[in-house]
Amino acid sequence: MDSAPAHELKVITGEQLATYTDAKEEFTKKPKNDADALDAVLSHIGDMGRYQKFLFIVMMPFGIFFAFVYFVQMFIAATPQNHWCAIPELAHLDMEV
């Protein structure tokens, strides 16, 4: 490996070869908001690695379960407007209170 000056240290990030000065310039730019800063850091260290894929697969059953829990409320909580139970023993009672 050829010796490069300290300010020209070569850094391999993903599929590209960048110099230390390029990476330093990228991180010294003023981000528009916190999400831009986080995106810059994540893209520098690697967006979707082996651990993130593992975590996604492990958490997927919980996500599917919670989707059913939240969507079943539409069927359980909804009551029709004109719904009443027909109980033959109570048919003789007055409907007004």
* Residue 92 within any structural domain of the chain: no
pLDDT of residue 29: 65
* Residue 85 within any structural domain of the chain: no
Instruction: Say how far apart CA 13 and CA 43 lie, in whole Å.
Output: 9
Q: Is pLDDT at 35 greater than 50 in this prediction?
A: yes
pLDDT of residue 15: 47
Tokens of 71: 């969507």
* Residue 83 within any structural domain of the chain: no
* Residue 51 within any structural domain of the chain: yes
CB-based contact 26:44 (threshold 8 Å): yes
Grade residue 40 by pLDDT with cuts at 50, 70 and 90: confident
Instruction: Say how far apart CA 60 and CA 72 lie, in whole Å.
Output: 19
> Structural domain of residue 50, as residue ranges?
6-77
In this prediction the pTM is: 0.38
More confident residue, 30 or 58: 58
Average pLDDT, the chain: 75
The total domain count for the chain is 1
Tokens of 63: 């996500």
Per-residue pLDDT tens for 61-92? 999 999 998 888 888 887 777 777 788 888 88
* Residue 88 within any structural domain of the chain: no
Q: Which of these, 13, 7, 6, 11, lies nearest to 40 by C-alpha position?
A: 13
